[in-house]
Amino acid sequence: MSGQGLGHGHGHGHGHEGRGLRSAIGSVFRPHSHDAADSVDSELEASTEGVRALKISLVVLGLTAVAQLVVVLFTGSTALLADTIHNFSDALTAVPLWIAFVVGRRAATRRYPYGFGRAEDLAGVFIVLMIALSAVVAGYESIRRLVEPQPIQNPYVVLAAGLIGFAGNEVVAVYRIRVGRKIGSAALVADGLHARTDGFTSLAVVLAALGVLAGFPLADPIVGLLITGAILVVLKGAAVSIYRRLMDAVEPELLDSAEAALRAVRGVREVAVVRLRWTGHRLRAEASISADPGLDLVAGHLIAVEAEHALLHAVPRLLDATVHVSPVGEIGAEHHQTLEHHRV
């Protein structure tokens, strides 16, 4: 930090003292808190809502899978077995995600100064592995039934079980996706999309039963292979999503919103750097801006405060922001010196 550069970084815990009568009156009509306690409460509320969604979806998917398993035991349907295996794996993926939400509530420590939100990403890795395992098992069973065909008993019951699987998965999908988007959890949204795909594969089981009723018994293992392909498609999407989170990727639109909000702050002359990263289902921001070099330390601090407020308002699910203020021209010089240092 050079010249009159000012680093300003904290959560929402800054007051509005000394901001004047206009700000005091405005806060009555536009109540908005940036208090650190409110930030923690919001984080805990999001985690609690995520856990609630996982509990409910675990019960619904568990009951759906058990009902399908009973039908498999009486009918011997490979397609339904593949779908049942996938539904069980989908239900079980709620467990590590549930644990991750609970762990993520823990307070930051000196060893983990950013907290434990990354546990959610680790749970996402487990989810990807479970999807891969279900694809292997379903594919193996389908190929085995192609080589050693076995008749399906009671295809009408299999058809009904496929419809049950679709209904159960779609209910869970809608709920997980809605809650996941609300709290900003990519892992929960991906799990919801996984459940939705499971629902469509359950409809494929219905097609298998119809094929058997039409006199084409090989429709059962063939549809089982199609389900395996659908699982692989879900696997690719889930793997890409989790990979991006692990690599700190964010949507470019979020950066656009953050940069626009900073440029609109009174006193900000330039916006040099804005970085965002996910920590679980919350975002953190770092920004470097420049202001008039004639400003004193207090004025620079107020600009940093306003810049942080602007980011908190403009970027959804932003938990924390660190804003660095430098005199106009100093940011470019600092970057030039940094590049020269790395070249050496």
**What domains sit in the chain, N to C, each tagged with a CATH number?**
6-32+250-343 (3.30.70.1350), 38-246 (1.20.1510.10)
Asked if residues 127 and 93 have their Cβ atoms less than 8 Å apart, the reply is yes
Q: What is the pLDDT of residues 36-72, one digit of tens each?
A: 334 444 555 566 777 888 888 878 877 887 877 777 7
Predicted local confidence at residue 265, as pLDDT = 94
Model pLDDT for residues 252-303, shown as the tens digit of each residue = 999 999 999 999 999 999 999 999 998 888 889 999 999 999 888 899 999 9
- Residue 334: the pLDDT is 52
Residue range 301-317: mean pLDDT, rounded:
91
Q: What is the pLDDT of residue 274?
A: 94
What pLDDT is stored for residue 317 in this prediction? 83
Find all residues with CB under 8 Å of 299, minimum gap 6, and list them.
Answer: 267, 291
The whole-chain average pLDDT of the chain stands at 76
For residue 61 the two structure tokens come to 């998917």
pLDDT at 23: 42
Q: What is the mean pLDDT of residues 166-184?
A: 85
pLDDT on residue 259: 94
Q: Report the candidate in 62, 63, 119 with the shortest Cα–Cα distance to residue 90.
A: 62
Whether 117 has a pLDDT exceeding 80, the answer reads yes
Query: For the segment 320-332, what is each residue's pLDDT rounded down to a tens digit?
Result: 899 999 998 765 5
Instruction: Give CA–CA dist 77/27, Å, rounded.
Output: 64
Distant-in-sequence, close-in-space partners of 218: CB < 8 Å, separation ≥ 6 = 146, 149, 211
pLDDT the model gives residue 45: 57
pLDDT at 287: 94
Q: Does the pLDDT value for residue 90 go beyond 90? A: no
261 neighbors 154 (Cβ within 8 angstroms): no
In the numeric block, the tokens 């199609």 are attached to 226
Task: Answer for the pair 297, 132: CB distance below 8 angstroms, yes or no.
Answer: no
When mean pLDDT is compared across 23-37, 67-81, 181-195, 250-264, the lowest value belongs to 23-37
- Whole-model pTM above 0.75? no
Model confidence at 9, in pLDDT bands (50, 70, 90)?
low
Indicate whether 16 pLDDT > 80: no
Element (H, E) at 156: helix 155-183
Place of tokens 């085995």: 144
Query: Pick the residue with more confidence: 312 or 59?
Result: 312
What mean pLDDT do residues 15-27 have? 40
Measured CA to CA, the distance from residue 312 to residue 290 in angstroms comes to: 19
Top-confidence residue, 184 or 285: 285
pLDDT per residue over 223-244, tens digit each?
778 878 888 888 888 888 889 9
CA atoms within 13 Å, Cβ hemisphere of 34: 21
Range with lowest mean pLDDT among 138-142, 166-170, 178-182, 332-336:
332-336
Instruction: Report pLDDT for 190.
Output: 76
